[in-house]
Structure 1
Amino acid sequence: MLPLTLRFSLLALSCMLPLAALAETPLSTERVTELETLLYQDCGSCHGMTLRGGLGPALPESRMNAYSRDGLAALILDGVKGTAMPGWDGLLTEQEARWIADHLQNDNPLDE
């Protein structure tokens, strides 16, 4: 039988393995450029090319930070029922939606 300390160490390591599998691979520079284009072109077709509003509301950081990053990513992926906001889950991964959410919350060029 293994010593108690070794058993606890192995148990701790086995608990950490699923966390390591969840770590996201960074997006490529090319994909980030594509996501920025999608945000300002496709999302901008409703929210305005500068995100100041249009058919859809303006997307200032203050409004985007009312959501958690994961909550905003879910909104991006699932859309908003009963509105013109479509879900983008067929075109974006969860990681990409989180990148857009993070960008809107932290690197948003829209000044209020």
Structure 2
Amino acid sequence: MKQPVLIIASLLFLAQSASAAGIPEPRRIELLNLLKHDCGSCHGLSLKGGLGPPLTPTKLQGKPVDFLAATILYGRTGTPMPPWRPFLTNREADWLAQQIKEGVQ
């Protein structure tokens, strides 16, 4: 029973490492600062809500990473959510969306 858990944990670790591998560490630090400060200015400094909705794992449960990444890149029409496409690549938006879903702050 422990072996399947270990295999799953290893695969999750490798998937996260592979995802982060394409983004250099200095850029990941910049992206986390963007998440805390720029996203936090609307979604609350702890991302628990403000002008924008909460970005907590509980509130985002069931929302796919690609949906969140598209929202980051293209914004939401009819809402204050701006497009971040001029500043982020697809890979960076995917990485940020994954961080938000995992509750990394």
Q: Same fold (TM over 0.5)?
A: yes
Q: Give, in whole Å, the separation in 2 of the partners of 1:27 and 1:64.
A: 24
Structure 2 alignment gaps of length 5 or more: 1-17
Mapping of 1:73-88 within 5 angstroms? Answer: 73-88=69-84
CA RMSD, aligned part only? 1.7
Task: Return the match for 2:99 from 90, 100, 103.
Answer: 103
Structure 1 alignment gaps of length 5 or more: 1-22
Aligned to 1:34: 30
Q: What is the CA distance between 1:62 and its match in structure 2?
A: 2.0
Greater helix percent: which structure?
A: 2
Query: Counterpart of 2:62 in 1: which secondary structure?
Result: coil
Question: What percentage of aligned pairs have identical amino acids?
Answer: 44
Q: Give, in whole Å, the separation in 2 of the partners of 1:98 and 1:49.
A: 21
**Is the contact made by 1:61 and 1:108 (CA closer than 8 Å) also made in structure 2?**
no
**Is the contact made by 1:60 and 1:108 (CA closer than 8 Å) also made in structure 2?**
no
Larger radius of gyration: 1
Aligned residues: 87
Q: Give, in whole Å, the separation in 1 of the partners of 2:87 and 2:32.
A: 14
TM-score (norm 2): 0.76
**Is the contact made by 1:39 and 1:100 (CA closer than 8 Å) also made in structure 2?**
yes
Q: What CA deviation, in whole Å up to 9, does each residue of 1:1-34 have, x standing for no partner?
A: xxxxxxxxxxxxxxxxxxxxxx975211100000
